[in-house]
Amino acid sequence: MSSNNPTEYVLADADLHLVELVNRVLDRGAVITGEVTISVAGVDLIFLGLQLVISAAESATGRHGLMRRTPPA
């Protein structure tokens, strides 16, 4: 199988780590208070994590928009 997408969204290893971390801390773990902070209703939290990463990166670099690069032909 090969992708027909001409561009590829790329995250550094540190960003992937943060995404996996967010997914665990916000969507897993034991609940003892009977309520959760965030209701995610079927939304994969890896995308919420991505938004946190993107927001952090935008703040750090002053640039906005999704990080992307075009892979070599």
Partner 1 sequence: MGIYAYCVVPAGHESPADLRGLSDADVELAAVGEIALWVSRIAKPEVNAEAVQQHNAVVEAAVTQEVTPVPLRFGQWMEDEAAMVMAMQEKAEAYATRLHEFAGCLEFGLRLLDPAEPQGARPVQESTPASGLEYMRSLQESSRLADRKRGEAEQVRARITELLREFIREERQEEARTPHAFLTMSHLVAREHFDAYRERARQIRELYPELRLLLSGPWAPYSFAG
- E strand or H helix at 27: helix 13-27
Interface with partner 1 (CB under 8 A), residue from 10, 47, 64, 66 = 47
56 sits near partner 1 (criterion: CB under 8 A): yes
53 sits near partner 1 (criterion: CB under 8 A): yes
Helix axes 13-27, 45-61, angle to 10 degrees: 130
- Can you read off the two tokens belonging to residue 66? 């999704």
- Can you read off the two tokens belonging to residue 68? 């992307």
Phi and psi, residue 48, nearest 5°: -65, -40
Interface with partner 1 (CB under 8 A), residue from 34, 62, 65, 72 = 34
12 sits near partner 1 (criterion: CB under 8 A): no
Given the rule CB under 8 A, which residues bind partner 1? 1-5, 16-18, 20-22, 24-38, 42-44, 46-47, 52-53, 55-56
